[in-house]
A and B are shown apart, each in its own frame.
Chain A
Amino acid sequence: MSTTRDIAILGAGMHPWGKWGRNFVEYGVVAARAALADAGVPWRDVQFVSGAATIRNGYPGQVAGATFAQALGWQGAQVNTSYAACASGSQALAAARAKILAGECEVALVIGSDTTPKGFLKPQPGDRPDDPDWVRFRIGITNPTYFALYARRRMAMYGDTLADFAAVKVKNAEHGLSNPNARYRKAFKADEVAASPIVADPLRLMDICATSDGAAALIVSSLAYASRIGKANAPRVAAVSTVTPSFASALVEMPDIATDSAIAAPAQSFRAALPRKAYEQAGIGPEDVSVAEVYDLSTALELDWMEDLQLCARGEAAHLLRAGETRIGGRIPVNPSGGLACFGEAVPAQALAQVCELTWQLRGQAGARQVADAKVGITANQGLFGHGSSVIVKR
């Protein structure tokens, strides 16, 4: 595909992840201003505000695009709000990209921010037998159950061990140590992971990510605009894949209690489909990737993602991990930001945080966690109800 399909990333900004207990708008404004300053773009030049919705912060959260356009000062920009669970940020980015490529705007702000409640995410109250989310909680199946089933399956199929899962945590903790936006900046030893309580066998508490407050923002533009302001060499978004699953589902996906029946149509992996579309859009292959940011909701899930991204053959992710190839300095560093292990999940901001990290990596501005000579980065994430995304950034 020709480079005219690319857009430029001029600025990236975040509000640090944590459990700050403040209004999500505050975090978003901090991230947006950081991205604008990073881009060197005046707010009045932004013609489109593409917000990722948060469903836990009332009406303002459901109209996030407008909420941030107002908070930054109404200046007549057009707005949009996207909700796609964990992929909300990517869907907001896709909306901005479409607007720019259609020639309807030159510069856009893409933004996601969240304030999360304390404790585990719980289902809505009330009896709802037609809601799969209600049914699965009714019989005792929580979110970690799904990650645990995938993890145990890896152990049975590929010989992955608890030590491998702990090694993912140790690696990501080491990566995130120097990341000023990470919530958890603490080194972990494998035996500390092993000593943490079992939540959903085989996963321990330290194998599973927390939920966080946080915000991330990007300033993106047409290549022509980037050239005009002297930023022709800015990193580019080369692909945004937000494909749905294809019937029939190969894996039991949260919140379902069963897969589709594969009697009439072949079972297909949703996770693997997301990057496949991204590679196709970008005209880039997995062999070109220098760095990946993947959704490590659990330690074991990072290994699944590596295979879905085709960074190695199915079943071989733990081999790369053991050889140190996924550490910074290895052949294909995974989650140099520290990943969800160090951030905790702030749903509408998380997919954008992944792109922020790749932007800094491709500019060579990632400091102690810099991946040498990073040229192509890819993200991957998946959320509820057939939402997921994979974004490719290149320079």
Chain B
Amino acid sequence: MNDTVAGCNAQPFLEGWFTLDAERPQLLGNRCVACGTVYFPKLKSGYCRNPDCDGERFEETPLSRSGALWSYSNAAYQPPEPYAQVDKDAFRPFAIAAVELDKEKMIVLGAVVAGVGVEQLKVGMTMELKLGALADGKLTWMWAPAGAQA
């Protein structure tokens, strides 16, 4: 699996959740104009969830591309559908990261790019956003140690 491919045929698994910039992708959230709270995924109800805010206007905002690794794990077994399935023997465990974005003050989960296992991760290290392909070829966001060769 090539974990940073964003060829012209590659489609995201969800439209509008992240940019398709192969080198510097960004998650796309939205931001309450009144209180500044950022939402990812984008808030669609049209009403800010901050209980002390009556905001009803939101603007799209790309999220920070990097943050500190808050915690991590892996999927040692193939997750059930809708995770795109491969033959049991072909499944390779993949790491999962929870990354704390400083500016947005939020933690975002994602798979870690192929080839980076939990033994290469350490809480606190800087992670950056990349794109990677799911087994059905659809692109998703993935986390990678900052500066690592993909």
Q: Which residues of A contact B (CB under 8 A)?
A: 120, 122-123, 125, 127, 129-130, 132, 134-142, 144-145, 148-150, 152-153, 156-157, 197-203, 246-248, 251-252, 257-265, 267
Q: Do the beta carbons of A263 and B36 come within 8 Å of each other? A: yes
Chain A residues positioned under 8 Å from B79 (CB to CB): 137, 140-142
Q: Do the beta carbons of B105 and A139 come within 8 Å of each other? A: no
Whether A152 touches B80, Cβ cut-off 8 Å, given contacts A140-B96, A257-B41, is no
Q: How far is the CA of A313 from the CA of B5 in the complex (A)?
A: 47
Interface size band for B: 35 or more
Q: What string of 1s and 0s marks CB contacts (under 8 Å) between B96-108 and chain A?
A: 1010000011111
Q: Do the beta carbons of B73 and A149 come within 8 Å of each other? A: yes
When C-beta atoms are compared, the residue in chain B nearest to A155 turns out to be B123
Q: How far is the CA of A264 from the CA of B98 in the complex (A)?
A: 21
Report the minimal beta-carbon distance from A114 to chain B, rounded to whole angstroms: 20
Kindly identify which residue among A129, A153, A262, A267 contacts B14, using a CB–CB cutoff of 8 Å.
Answer: A129
- Chain B residues 123-146 with CB under 8 Å of chain A are 123-124, 134, 140
Q: Do the beta carbons of B140 and A145 come within 8 Å of each other? A: no
Q: Which residues of B contact A (CB under 8 A)?
A: 13-14, 32, 35-41, 44, 49-53, 70-77, 79-83, 94-96, 98, 104-111, 118, 123-124, 134, 140
Chain B residues positioned under 8 Å from A130 (CB to CB): 44
Q: Do the beta carbons of B82 and A258 come within 8 Å of each other? A: no
Chain B residues positioned under 8 Å from A136 (CB to CB): 109
* Shortest 6 CB-CB contacts between residues of A and residues of B: A156-B123, A148-B73, A264-B35, A262-B105, A153-B71, A261-B38
Q: Do the beta carbons of A153 and B96 come within 8 Å of each other? A: no
Q: Do the beta carbons of B96 and A264 come within 8 Å of each other? A: no
When C-beta atoms are compared, the residue in chain A nearest to B100 turns out to be A259
Q: Do the beta carbons of B105 and A134 come within 8 Å of each other? A: no
Q: How far is the CA of A263 from the CA of B48 in the complex (A)?
A: 13
Q: How far is the CA of A200 from the CA of B118 in the complex (A)?
A: 10
Kindly identify which residue among A139, A263, A265 contacts B38, using a CB–CB cutoff of 8 Å.
Answer: A263
Q: How far is the CA of A258 from the CA of B14 in the complex (A)?
A: 16
Q: Do the beta carbons of B71 and A262 come within 8 Å of each other? A: no
What are 18 residue pairs bridging A and B, where the CB atoms are less than 8 Å apart in the complex? Answer: A122-B81, A138-B13, A142-B75, A145-B73, A149-B73, A150-B71, A153-B70, A156-B71, A157-B123, A200-B74, A201-B72, A247-B50, A260-B106, A261-B106, A262-B105, A263-B35, A263-B38, A265-B37
Q: Do the beta carbons of B73 and A140 come within 8 Å of each other? A: no
In this complex, the member of B71, B73, B75, B94 whose beta carbon has the largest number of chain A beta carbons within 10 angstroms is: B73
Q: Do the beta carbons of A142 and B49 come within 8 Å of each other? A: no
> A interface, by DSSP: helix, strand, loop or mixed?
loop
Report the minimal beta-carbon distance from A145 to chain B, rounded to whole angstroms: 5
When C-beta atoms are compared, the residue in chain A nearest to B121 turns out to be A152
Chain B residues positioned under 8 Å from A129 (CB to CB): 14
Report the minimal beta-carbon distance from A223 to chain B, rounded to whole angstroms: 36
Chain A residues positioned under 8 Å from B50 (CB to CB): 247-248, 264-265
Chain A residues positioned under 8 Å from B94 (CB to CB): 140
When C-beta atoms are compared, the residue in chain B nearest to A147 turns out to be B73
Q: How far is the CA of A144 from the CA of B38 in the complex (A)?
A: 27
Q: Do the beta carbons of B76 and A122 come within 8 Å of each other? A: no
Kindly identify which residue among A134, A135, A149, A267 contacts B72, using a CB–CB cutoff of 8 Å.
Answer: A149
In this complex, the member of A136, A137, A248, A258 whose beta carbon has the largest number of chain B beta carbons within 10 angstroms is: A258
When C-beta atoms are compared, the residue in chain B nearest to A265 turns out to be B50
Chain A residues positioned under 8 Å from B123 (CB to CB): 152-153, 156-157
Kindly identify which residue among B36, B96, B104, B105 contacts A145, using a CB–CB cutoff of 8 Å.
Answer: B96
Q: Do the beta carbons of B107 and A259 come within 8 Å of each other? A: yes
Q: Do the beta carbons of B14 and A199 come within 8 Å of each other? A: no
Q: Do the beta carbons of B80 and A261 come within 8 Å of each other? A: no
Chain A residues positioned under 8 Å from B38 (CB to CB): 261, 263
When C-beta atoms are compared, the residue in chain A nearest to B141 turns out to be A139
Report the minimal beta-carbon distance from A125 to chain B, rounded to whole angstroms: 8
Chain B residues positioned under 8 Å from A145 (CB to CB): 73, 75, 96, 109
Q: Do the beta carbons of B51 and A258 come within 8 Å of each other? A: no
Q: Do the beta carbons of B81 and A137 come within 8 Å of each other? A: yes
